[in-house]
Structure 1
Amino acid sequence: MIPYLQEKFASDRWEMELFSLPKRIRGKGREEVVFETFDWTQYGDSPVVQKYMQTYRDYLWWTRLRVQKPYDLIHAHHPIAALAMKTVFPDTPVLQTIHSSYERELILNGRIEEGGAEHRFFLSIYRELEAKTDQLITVSEAFRRYMSPYIDHPDRIRIMPNGYDERRFKPVPHENEIPQLMCVCRLVPAKGLDVLLKACSLLKERNVPYVLHLIGDGPSRQELEDMAQKLGVYDDTIFYGYTLHPEEFMPFFDIFVLPSRAEAFGSVFAEAALCCLALVGTSVGGVPEQIEHGVNGLLVPPDDPAALADALEQVIGDPAYRYELARTACEKAKSQYSLNRVAIELKRLYLSYEDRNRRSV
């Protein structure tokens, strides 16, 4: 989203630069790190925490090396970036958008244990962000509620859903003899693709026609391919691997399905809606804020293959209903998740800090 958003600020009034840590920068940072709200070293024996903190040190090192001129405002889209920028530029307002729950993803993907040292470390980062940054922003009301127990003033969190450039998503009139299901995501347990394959096996038992397109890659790919073979749905499933611009052929499918176990917002649902696909998702995180069940998509409980199969059968078997769901979803996405809307809201927010600076002089 961010490079497309930068185009909206391309004028004499605004000068915006993008800054990030290159992948090649690893292990360069040596700076001692002390947090204001908790002692991170109590979790320092964890390799996961060690890797996170080394990335933070690397970001500090790279920022001090490459960023020389001052800025009026910094908007970070990762906690490490926000904390590093505020350390290097303590007098500059830093806004932080939190897009997702890294700790929740690690738990669902089997990388860390719920309630363990790593989990407690990542939860502590939220209060550190609150203490250090000038404004916390998140992408859904659901994620604000998720963060609330871990910060002091959840009422001060600003909600700003992601925005999408409509020019990238062009619905295409088409007729598929067999309904085409698609899913775009990383192939990890958190996305619930095992549930999707089980639901597809139920569809096959019911003689419901479909083809499933799985676009993305990840550590679970071989396991999912093996599962598809065992369930007898491999011949009906296409594993694409990583694809740079899935939105270019997304409009030629019929139904977007993603049975996630957790989503802060679920950006890909908005993207699929802009391509005029019918949406089927799980009632987790910010997904129900995008999908009103039976109006612009269907919602099912997580980890419920039978409920997912029932929902898919409903939209597969009724093309008119499927089209109505897709059309309504597209209209909502255009009105609520446009990049223009986000740009206008951000400009107002940025200007409010300019006004504050004037008043403080």
Structure 2
Amino acid sequence: MRVAYLVNRYPAVSHSFIRREIAGVEMAGVDVARFSIRPPDASLPDAADRAELPRTTVILAQSKAALLMAALCMAVTRTGRFVRALSAAVKMAQGRPKIALRHLIYLVEACWLAGKLKGVDRLHAHFGTNPAAVARLVHILSGIPYSFTVHGPEEFDAPGALDLPAKIADAAQVVAISDFGRSQLMRWAKPAMWDKLHVVRCGIDEGFAAAPAAPPVADARLCCVARLSAQKGLPLLIDAAARLRDRGVPFHLTLVGDGEMRAEIERAIADRDLGGIVAITGYLDAAGVRSHMLASRAMVLPSFAEGLPVVIMEALALRVPVVTTAIAGVPELVDTACGWVVPAGSIEALCDAMELALAADPARLREMGEVGRARVLARHDARANGAAMADLFRQ
């Protein structure tokens, strides 16, 4: 069997879980072609991500002439299918002129991609946003079945604007990464379609799963591994850090990651005189992330919106408890047995949980970490979950 994967941007620092899924699918005996709509991240710290570059075909790296010629050829040689795809693209825009133009671009991308899928039995997109839209149009143009994985929160923030019901209706299968995610898909799918909604959880890197137990951390260190973006709640974390400092609690907090809010977060650190307490590393490879997690008493992630963050799985796999928020799929993995779960948006609750993590006995931290590790290894094995995806493709 041959499957084509379609992602908006691949490889990417924040999409390493897709790389692991593809590897698991290939280990299950499925041949996988990789397509990215946009060029990959300019900086890829992880060698495993860089190794994906020559294996990935980028749609928008093609010349405009090649893309337009593909659309023209499709219109001439498969006129009926092209008209149906054009109609679907316009309907997905729901009468919004700017969005309609964007969907016409998706149609051009789909025409080019449809011409490159000879011998492909299934097209699978990650994310229910533009990759799923392009995959749906490819299906209409070529007849190749498509499926897609929904992660959240973007798809759940605007399911109507993304025309999620139509994407679900036309798909062979739709995958969620958590039970919560599947429940949200059920809201936008007719009950007769619920049997096509599946849960396949993200898998962790083998380096986290195979890491030996480290000595309990005695130092008052915390880390946060996250993209520096609005949904991660990082300004709240800086406020909580300032409040914790004002309580007289000694600690150090390292933010591992980068993103569009970095300058704003750096200003917040400076404004609160936290320069000696809070540091930002930028993006690191998997080994660097593991190093910071293993040097911390807990990993903190105060997100406002998520699917089910892979960094939580990674921390728990390393036997590091987590401080996080009671949102989306997080409570499916984290409870008081392996971490501290606080209401999203509460500085006071976040500060209290960080203080508890810093004060906890190392033996208690290890006990919590062992509980979390057992859960992650049982639910988030990349090879097993890749095999589950392969089984879905073969249905």
Q: What is the DSSP-based 3-state SS (H/G/I as helix, E as strand, rest coil) of the residue aligned with 1:56? A: helix
In structure 2, the partner of 1:261 is 304
Tell me whether 1:239 sits opposite 2:280 in the alignment: yes
Of residues 155, 163, 169 in structure 1, which corresponds to 2:194? Answer: 155
CA RMSD, aligned part only? 2.8
Q: What is the DSSP-based 3-state SS (H/G/I as helix, E as strand, rest coil) of the residue aligned with 1:303? A: coil
- 8 Å CA contact retained: 2:254, 2:280: yes
- 8 Å CA contact retained: 1:182, 1:255: yes
Deviation at 1:41, TM superposition (A): 4.9
Of residues 34, 40, 58 in structure 1, which corresponds to 2:93? Answer: 40
Q: Which moved more, 1:334-343 or 1:14-23?
A: 14-23
In structure 2, the partner of 1:92 is 144
Aligned AA for 1:315?
A
Deviation at 1:36, TM superposition (A): 7.6
In structure 2, the partner of 1:278 is 321
Tell me whether 1:2 sits opposite 2:14 in the alignment: no
TM-score, normalised to structure 1, is 0.82
Tell me whether 1:164 sits opposite 2:217 in the alignment: no
In structure 2, the partner of 1:291 is 334
Tell me whether 1:191 sits opposite 2:244 in the alignment: no
Aligned AA for 1:35?
A
In structure 2, the partner of 1:329 is 372
- Superposed, 1:304-315 pairs within 5 Å as 304-315=346-357
Q: CA 1:86–1:220 in structure 2 vs 1: closer, same or farther (change >3 Å)?
A: closer
- 8 Å CA contact retained: 2:244, 2:355: yes
Q: CA 1:289–1:139 in structure 2 vs 1: closer, same or farther (change >3 Å)?
A: same
Structure with more strand by fraction: 2
Tell me whether 1:347 sits opposite 2:390 in the alignment: yes
Deviation at 1:158, TM superposition (A): 1.2
Deviation track 1:67-103 (CA, whole Å, cap 9, x = no partner) reads 1412222222133334433433443322211112325
Q: What is the DSSP-based 3-state SS (H/G/I as helix, E as strand, rest coil) of the residue aligned with 1:239? A: strand
In the alignment, the residues of structure 1 paired with residue 305 and residue 253 of structure 2 have an alpha-carbon distance, to the nearest angstrom, of 22
- 8 Å CA contact retained: 2:147, 2:174: yes
- 8 Å CA contact retained: 1:36, 1:128: no
Bigger relative contact order, structure 1 or 2 (CA pairs below 8 A, ≥6 apart): 2
In the alignment, the residues of structure 1 paired with residue 159 and residue 30 of structure 2 have an alpha-carbon distance, to the nearest angstrom, of 39
In the alignment, the residues of structure 2 paired with residue 168 and residue 62 of structure 1 have an alpha-carbon distance, to the nearest angstrom, of 39
Q: What is the DSSP-based 3-state SS (H/G/I as helix, E as strand, rest coil) of the residue aligned with 1:280? A: strand
Identity %: 23
Q: Which moved more, 1:248-257 or 1:192-201?
A: 248-257
- Superposed, 1:78-117 pairs within 5 Å as 78-79=127-128, 80-89=130-139, 90-102=142-154
Q: CA 1:51–1:187 in structure 2 vs 1: closer, same or farther (change >3 Å)?
A: farther
Aligned AA for 2:353?
A
In structure 2, the partner of 1:19 is 35
Q: What is the DSSP-based 3-state SS (H/G/I as helix, E as strand, rest coil) of the residue aligned with 1:17? A: strand
In the alignment, the residues of structure 1 paired with residue 117 and residue 183 of structure 2 have an alpha-carbon distance, to the nearest angstrom, of 38
Q: What is the DSSP-based 3-state SS (H/G/I as helix, E as strand, rest coil) of the residue aligned with 1:19? A: strand
- 8 Å CA contact retained: 1:37, 1:128: no
Deviation track 1:178-219 (CA, whole Å, cap 9, x = no partner) reads 322111111112111111111111211222221111111122
In the alignment, the residues of structure 2 paired with residue 168 and residue 51 of structure 1 have an alpha-carbon distance, to the nearest angstrom, of 43
List runs of 5+ in structure 1 lacking aligned partners.
106-117, 354-361
TM-score, normalised to structure 2, is 0.75
Of residues 178, 190, 201 in structure 2, which corresponds to 1:140? Answer: 178
In the alignment, the residues of structure 2 paired with residue 272 and residue 54 of structure 1 have an alpha-carbon distance, to the nearest angstrom, of 42
